[in-house]
Structure 1
Amino acid sequence: MKRILVLFILIFTVIITSKGEEVIKIQPDGTNDMTRAVKQAIASARSKEIKLIFEQADYYFKPDFATEKYCSVTNHKNGSKRIAFAFDGFNKVSIEGNGANLIFHGKMMPFQFESCENVTVNHLSIDWDTPFTIQGTVLKVNEKDHWMDIKMDTDGFSFSVNKGVIKFPNIHHQEYSSLGNTLTFDSLTKAVSHGAWDANFRAEKVQRLKGNTYRFYGRMKYYPKVGNKINFKGPHGDNRYAPAFHIIRSKNLKYDQVVVHHALGMGFLAERSENVSISNGGVYVRKGSNRLISSTADATHFCNVKGKVIVENCRFENMLDDGTNVHGTYVEINEILDPKTVIVQLKHFQQLGFDFAQKGDELWWINQPSPNRRAETVFVTGSEVINEEYIQLSFDKELPKDLSVGDLFENKTWNPEFVMRGCTLQNHRARNIVLKSPKKTVIENNFFSSSMSAIFFRGESYFWYESGQVEDVLIQNNTFYNCASSGNEHAVLYITPRLGKSYDKSATYDKNIRFINNKINTFDDRIVWAYNVDGLVIEGNEITKNDLLAPVHPDRPIFDFNYCKNIVVKNNNYHGPKDQNIKTDKASSKEISIKKNKNIHLGKLDVVE
């Protein structure tokens, strides 16, 4: 105990200000693990207002003496987490990084803010000494005999091959059971390779050939191209340990000049919180690094956040999932106990334990077969967690008699206004941004380049059960460059709700989307592909088709509308080798206005049943 106290005194200076704020100045202590000292400093705080001031330096953190607790983390794997900076119940938290580099080892969650208010984090970076991914360069491919030779990168990576079995990262009791999620990248640009497909690869055998070159035996639907880099992430369900920053049940958080170079899940995750801003930072690989991957999941993710969410002047690159996803949550009625009481079920395994609703929350309900919210709402008077999967909810009034088991609830109270402005998103898997908030959303002055869709709308009444319908979205003055390059077909702007079999596929879902004054320069034809929209304006966009990359899905319509209403297409200019067609189904063709477009037409053969 005396040794710990001496260490604490050497690396921290503690000051209590006249306003009652506890200020802790942190200096490097020359060791390779600051975890225990930081834990002690936070636990010993005598004030609910705390400020940490770092001296500019490298600080190392290991999981051995970290705070440990069971965490339900949405869109990650629930379980016991080791947390370096665990803030719980603080009224004010200020962290001044002054350019500090925080470098982690093993399975760790760097920061968690739970039930905190007025949090500011400035000018620091997050990284790992050794990532939980492995990578290499594809040298040979033999599709007939089902093998590929890969020269594995060893500098800064951790794996082992024994008796034909490869294991990684072999750090802090973590050994992935298979190579799992697999994706290829361009060896020069580090962007996802053109035409790449996601794969889940389980090698039947791995044989060392010479030096760092290994032969991987196993069947793949799409084998990589020789010369590409290839990355292995581990099996789905196990490869999302924790975000770099976890925000839960907290309010008023600001991140400025905060960069995540690597994370064992998402970069920034906020759930059931209020007012979050991220500016002048991002998620991207450290300059000069040989790594392909920054965060192993989304750069930013906001689940049932309310108030305002602002992301501006940030850079998001080389993640293995979306740049951002803004959504709510659907829960399914499992049992109706009485006219005012139901048991609901969280349906996706990475939603288990989610704090769906509390007393005072206002809920919508969705009756099958309509996917739309009912105009009526109810207020929660009681919420009893049965276990991670089931919740009993009580309401202020009787539910409608036509509400049935299998219908859905959505939380109206917890949705944000969302702004993304002045950001760059490129070189990563999946979509640049996924939008599902019913409140005002503005996307402007950004640069997008995507492997799947640049902007994606998908409320889901099954699988992920992520709500919901947008109602007010403005997308303006953005630049889109070489988007939707993956093997799986997407579009620059793709609106495609994912409705279960019991729902009416012809009903409109998303509403009031304006795609205005954007510049699109890309290699393929699809620009807007829309299903089930009521109110879509495509106006004043400059569209150029380039020949820098080969088309992945050639001869598609530039605009494609299905089950849509109130569509306006006007004043758009297309520059390319031939005029482009608009395609609609029969219902949408009666609800479309097309005016003053250059080289874009609706032909008779483009209206389909």
Structure 2
Amino acid sequence: MKKTTFFLYLLIFSTVSAIGKTTNPIVISPKKGDMTAIIAKTLEEVQTEDIHLIFEKGVYRFKPDYARGKYMDITNHGNGYKRIIFDFSKFRSVIIEGNGAEFVFHGQLMPFLFENSKNIKVSNLTLDWDIPFTFLGEVVAVNEKEGWRDIKPFHEGFSWKVKNGFLEFPNIDDFSYEYPGSTLAFDPIEKRPVHGTWDINSKPEKVEKLPGGILRFHEKLNYYPPIGSLLSSKGDREHDRYAPAFDFKKCNNIELDNIVIHHALGMGFLFERSENIKLGNSGIYLREGTNRVISTTADATHFANCKGAILIESCRFENMLDDGTNVHGTYVELDEVIDQKTLRVKLGHFEQRGFDFVIPGDEVWFIKQPSPERRETAVVSLVKTVNDEYLEVHFVSDVPIDLQPGDILENKTWNPTFTMRGCIIKNHRARNVVLKTPLATVIEDNYFSSMMSSIFFRGETFFWYESGAVEDVLIQNNIFEYCAYSGMEHAVLNITPRLSNAFDTTTVYDKNIRFINNTIHTFDNRIVSADRVDGLVIKNNTILKTGGIEELYPEAPLIELINCQNTKIKDNFYEGDCKVAIKADEHSLQTLLTKDNEGFDSIKNKNSNKP
């Protein structure tokens, strides 16, 4: 670690460790039954801006009946009225000592909200739900021609019913999803997504009860799960992300240690416009001995428009239904140039509605069609909220004269440095790590196994509107094992911007990504797929092809380059039977350097004008 980075962490986390010395701790003991009202009363009676809670070891149960609530905009979740157990919005600093306490939640609840806090320290807690918001059953028969599948549903620990030909789950407190929705097949032994599986958006015509407790789902599918697999559903997309377990909004100096989440109704840890974060020795994974296959119903960790230093260290993330982590900013689309210093902009994705894209003092990049490059900047002087979708943004100086509707704005001020070290991420849907910050990023000494791409770079100017292009990434000394086993084609390292048709799809987007000293155990071929990268280095990696697992894309190359420049592929070792080592288009070939790649020489290279 560089000296400057080390001293930055030291300064940040010595500050965090010093908080809470000015307030007397409140000791809380476990009681039988619902403790929601007790916690609400405790928080309401604190008159200071600092709070220090100490929980005695034991089990604490929470229900939504008496939970305090309010309307909330939560990025990448459903906005709406949320019932919250621990609402720390009024506190400047928060310390929570869990001492191994276990919090068990029931129904639609948001466990923790921190908002505008300056110092936060939470340690030694376990979170779970008594009944998960998922449906699970074993696939016992499939008829693709007639379009049905037979499922033997799990009863113990789950809640559901069939009413008027429709499946209703979780059937808790008068709430159920409208249809099975996001559905995925899991291996019953490994408890990870089935090899070659595809996402299913399930909306059956009817669900029929058969003898022996079997349910027949009448539904034509493009992909039918294999007999013997466990099929898990988490509900329709409009409602399947109620809230994260922990939500941090506009907070500074956050330290989380030894926190385990076994289930949540959305993400595990969500950080929105927050600064200086350390998550260590924590996990999101299944409880030992459980019959479940799902932990959180969305990402383990998610960082939206954060800044300062982010460190995730010695953590374990498993069985989520989305990424291990996603670090990104937000693109907004220019709707209208109102005057020389005023723009109206639009928040593009429905789960960004109400998000604070900028505040006065923030600096903004202008990205003008057709180039995706960051160009001029300006500082925000005033923001007027039109509604949850549109903002009027006023600037200190004149905006560029050639702006036009459809151009993109990106917040330059709110981007973090990011480090992930010594973590294990596996057995879940989607990607291990998604990276979209231009500042220094280090991914080292981790163990990764992914259904989709393991390390994923995708800034996109439509649909998700997640910025942005990376400029300084080091990926080193990691172990990648059994990655990219989804039915859809992926790569272990996948760099693939997704820009709207108004933008040039040949211009460089990401820069300076170094993939060094990693070990990859792969059943398939595609290790690196890179599109529009300047300065990609693939060096000193060991790639070992393992047998005994079906290849999904046997014709794919080890490395594919599309519209890249200044790529270096050197000193790598490969052992296996791939048909094509390096596939590159003409533009990528012009500045491509390959040298001393052992095992590559026996494999032909393929040059193409097309990706």
* Alignment TM class, shorter chain as reference: over 0.9
SS at match of 2:227: coil
8 Å CA contact 1:154, 1:212 repeated in 2: no
SS at match of 1:417: strand
With over 3 angstroms needed to count, the CA separation of the structure-2 counterparts of 1:302 and 1:605, relative to structure 1, is closer
SS at match of 2:41: helix
- Residue 5 of structure 1 is matched in structure 2 by none
8 Å CA contact 1:323, 1:431 repeated in 2: yes
SS at match of 1:350: helix
8 Å CA contact 1:22, 1:46 repeated in 2: no
**Aligned mates of 1:60, 1:210 — CA distance in 2:** 37
**Aligned mates of 1:445, 1:157 — CA distance in 2:** 37
Per-residue CA deviation, residues 447-506 of structure 1 (Å, 9 max, x unaligned), is 000000000000001110000000000000000001000001100000000010010010
Structure 1 residue 263 displacement after superposition: 0.4
Equivalent residue letter for 1:354:
F
Structure 1 residue 548 displacement after superposition: 3.1
SS at match of 2:582: strand
TM-score, scaled to structure 2: 0.95
Structure 1 consecutive aligned stretches of length 4 or more whose deviation exceeds 6 Å: none
- Residue 184 of structure 2 is matched in structure 1 by 183
- Residue 405 of structure 1 is matched in structure 2 by 405
Structure 1 residue 604 displacement after superposition: 6.2
Residues 84-233 of structure 1 aligned to structure 2 (within 5 Å): 84-233=85-234
8 Å CA contact 1:433, 1:454 repeated in 2: yes
Per-residue CA deviation, residues 410-435 of structure 1 (Å, 9 max, x unaligned), is 00110100000000000000001100
Structure 1 residue 20 displacement after superposition: 3.6
TM-score, scaled to structure 1: 0.96
- Residue 395 of structure 2 is matched in structure 1 by 395
Structure 1 residue 117 displacement after superposition: 1.6
- Residue 566 of structure 1 is matched in structure 2 by 566
Equivalent residue letter for 2:509:
Y
- Residue 26 of structure 1 is matched in structure 2 by 28
With over 3 angstroms needed to count, the CA separation of the structure-2 counterparts of 1:115 and 1:604, relative to structure 1, is closer
SS at match of 1:171: coil
Equivalent residue letter for 2:89:
D
List alignment gaps of at least 5 residues for structure 1: 1-16
Per-residue CA deviation, residues 388-411 of structure 1 (Å, 9 max, x unaligned), is 001110001111111111111100
Equivalent residue letter for 1:160:
K
Give yes or no for the alignment of 1:525 onto 2:525. yes
Equivalent residue letter for 1:26:
I
8 Å CA contact 2:580, 2:606 repeated in 1: no
Equivalent residue letter for 1:157:
F
**Aligned mates of 1:18, 1:536 — CA distance in 2:** 45
- Residue 269 of structure 1 is matched in structure 2 by 270
- Residue 378 of structure 1 is matched in structure 2 by 378
- Residue 539 of structure 1 is matched in structure 2 by 539
Equivalent residue letter for 1:27:
S
Structure 1 residue 173 displacement after superposition: 2.9
**Aligned mates of 2:22, 2:565 — CA distance in 1:** 58
Per-residue CA deviation, residues 356-399 of structure 1 (Å, 9 max, x unaligned), is 1000001101000001110x210000011111001110001111
Residues 358-377 of structure 1 aligned to structure 2 (within 5 Å): 358-374=359-375, 376-377=376-377
8 Å CA contact 1:276, 1:309 repeated in 2: yes
Q: Report sequence identity in percent.
A: 52
- Residue 491 of structure 1 is matched in structure 2 by 491
**Aligned mates of 2:571, 2:117 — CA distance in 1:** 48
Structure 1 residue 172 displacement after superposition: 2.5
Equivalent residue letter for 1:581:
A
Per-residue CA deviation, residues 126-178 of structure 1 (Å, 9 max, x unaligned), is 10000110101000101011111111001011111122111111112321111
8 Å CA contact 2:331, 2:465 repeated in 1: yes
SS at match of 1:328: strand
8 Å CA contact 2:554, 2:578 repeated in 1: no
Residues 416-427 of structure 1 aligned to structure 2 (within 5 Å): 416-427=416-427
SS at match of 2:124: strand
8 Å CA contact 2:582, 2:606 repeated in 1: no
Equivalent residue letter for 2:73:
S
- Residue 36 of structure 1 is matched in structure 2 by 37
SS at match of 1:73: coil
8 Å CA contact 1:153, 1:212 repeated in 2: no
Equivalent residue letter for 1:22:
N
**Aligned mates of 1:378, 1:511 — CA distance in 2:** 23
SS at match of 1:22: coil
8 Å CA contact 1:334, 1:405 repeated in 2: yes
- Residue 590 of structure 1 is matched in structure 2 by 590
- Residue 452 of structure 1 is matched in structure 2 by 452
Per-residue CA deviation, residues 27-55 of structure 1 (Å, 9 max, x unaligned), is 0122x211111011111112211111111
List alignment gaps of at least 5 residues for structure 2: 1-18
Moved more, 597-606 or 391-400: 597-606
Equivalent residue letter for 2:257:
D
**Aligned mates of 1:161, 1:607 — CA distance in 2:** 54
- Residue 471 of structure 2 is matched in structure 1 by 471
- Residue 334 of structure 1 is matched in structure 2 by 335
SS at match of 2:39: helix
Structure 1 residue 204 displacement after superposition: 1.1
With over 3 angstroms needed to count, the CA separation of the structure-2 counterparts of 1:18 and 1:38, relative to structure 1, is closer
8 Å CA contact 1:134, 1:157 repeated in 2: yes
SS at match of 1:38: helix
8 Å CA contact 2:456, 2:495 repeated in 1: yes
8 Å CA contact 1:581, 1:606 repeated in 2: no
Equivalent residue letter for 1:582:
I
Residues 6-21 of structure 1 aligned to structure 2 (within 5 Å): 20-21=22-23
